[in-house]
Amino acid sequence: MLLPIHLTLYVKNKKTMSVVRLYAGLIINPLETSSAAPHLDYIPDGCLIVDEHGTIQFVGTLTDATMRFAETQIQRFDNAVILPGLVDTHVHLPQYQAAAVGTGELLEWLNAYIFPLEARFVDEQYARVQAERFFRDALAVGTTTMSVYCSSHKIATHVAFEAALNAGVRVCMGKTMMDTGAPDTLLSTPVQNIQDSMELATRWHGADGGRLQYTLTPRFAGSCSWKLMLECGNVAKTEGLRVQTHLAENPSELAFIAELFPHAASYTDVYEQTGLLTEKTILAHSIYLSGEERSLLKERNCAIAHCPCSNRFLQSGVMPLRSMMNQGFRIGLGSDVAGGFSLSMMNEAREAAESSKTWNILHRGGELPALSAEEALWLATLGGAQALGLGDTVGSFKVGKEADFVVVGLDALMPRDTVFHSYPNLAARLVYGTAGMKVEHTFVRGKELYRRGDSVR
Ligand SMILES: [Zn+2]
């Protein structure tokens, strides 16, 4: 167990005289690039200074910091790494109970395991307990920002926002909209779906200084009528809200969508014609896309939530990650619990790296460089933030950004007699950690929300 050293010299920032807090340790910082060239920076004697609002005031070396900010409260993390909070760009809160459960592919799995589970969220008390546990567990694995699908119930979505408000986590979240293709108890009319969503957005979008944001959430074209998708597209445009949905995940799903909408040129065209493709749209999976569909998505500047763990668990397929990165898409990683079996974004980073190798194995002769551990870390942090349109707020350490970060102990990452010879090896140990990544502390806006072995809230 790593114990931070507190030097309680409460003093003042020389310039502003506001109380600041200084965090010291080995910092890993994603560089402000795009997915076409992801890189990390390392600051061995690093220092992060955060003001009383949770905004980063300084990133650099401890030596420079102590010259500029005298008499500051210092929290030093020895034998640990400080990295930006992890970003989950695609996850289903009401499915958490089903993580690792079930067999079969997407459509069969939804009917057998997921819809019955989501139906239980009609019970407000059950929904509240589940939401509190979900966010608590996410913070414990270092996730500080999440793009969340709630159940299709308005009240369950409301209590999920209350739970996120109290937990301190950063969310973009919405009520899952469905009006067809699922049990009746999960459906409501297009008018009701939009009305409920707008009432929730009015209450929660931008709450707590923008930490909580509302996302329009039509589940996918297989459970939304044309009318519902069209209405959703209209609202997205007039209100400027994010949209999240699924696209081209599974071959059976593709056939199902083609049967439902024979007049559309492609799955992507269904969303194009209904106005759902905007620069604030996050599309999960996006495995089976033609060149035309990819060009259209790029033109609309849509973001991709890459969910490799789920893609394998549900036997959906292997996304051509590297070529989509080379095309310059904004790409983040999504746990897609419970299609994925873990809330850990470090698990998802490892799956992303291994999945890119699987793509190469399946396409001998057409190999592209496999995703490195460093690139996977970049996708799990700044890549995810950029995908959600939060790249100016979180995802890396930069003056003016909000101080969402995680402290990971190094002892658990390796056998004691192992030494690092390079920073890429350190990143690899984080992603592939022999004993699993041990998150020691999780902070959002400079506020500690999780401490291993302790309950700080
Ligand atoms: Zn999903």
The span from the CA of 301 to the CA of 278, in Å, is 7
The span from the CA of 287 to the CA of 272, in Å, is 17
Nearest to 35 by CA among 297, 303, 419: 303
The span from the CA of 223 to the CA of 251, in Å, is 16
* Contact by Cβ (8 Å): 52, 298: no
Å from CA of 284 to ligand 1 middle: 7
Structure tokens that stand for 53 in this block? 């609002």
The span from the CA of 141 to the CA of 160, in Å, is 19
Residue 301: count of CB within 10 angstroms of its CB: 14
pLDDT one-digit tens code per residue, 117-128: 999 999 999 999
Residue 372: count of CB within 10 angstroms of its CB: 17
Q: Which run of H or of E encompasses 201?
A: helix 190-204
The span from the CA of 206 to the CA of 213, in Å, is 5
**Cβ density class 21-34: b for 16+ within 10 Å, e for less:** bbbbbbbbbbeeee
Radius of gyration of the chain (CA): 22
Angle at 291 between CA 104 and CA 345, to 5 degrees: 50
Q: Give the chain's mean pLDDT.
A: 92
pLDDT one-digit tens code per residue, 140-166: 999 999 999 999 999 999 999 999 999
Q: Which run of H or of E encompasses 370?
A: none
Å from CA of 457 to ligand 1 middle: 30
pLDDT one-digit tens code per residue, 11-56: 344 444 466 889 999 999 999 999 989 999 999 999 999 999 999 9
Å from CA of 307 to ligand 1 middle: 8
Å from CA of 221 to ligand 1 middle: 13
Å from CA of 285 to ligand 1 middle: 8
Å from CA of 370 to ligand 1 middle: 24
Å from CA of 390 to ligand 1 middle: 20
* Contact by Cβ (8 Å): 289, 248: yes
Mean pLDDT of 342-356: 96
Å from CA of 336 to ligand 1 middle: 5
**Of the candidate ranges 66-70, 157-161, 446-450, the one whose mean pLDDT is the lowest:** 66-70
* pLDDT for 131: 98
431, amino acid identity: V
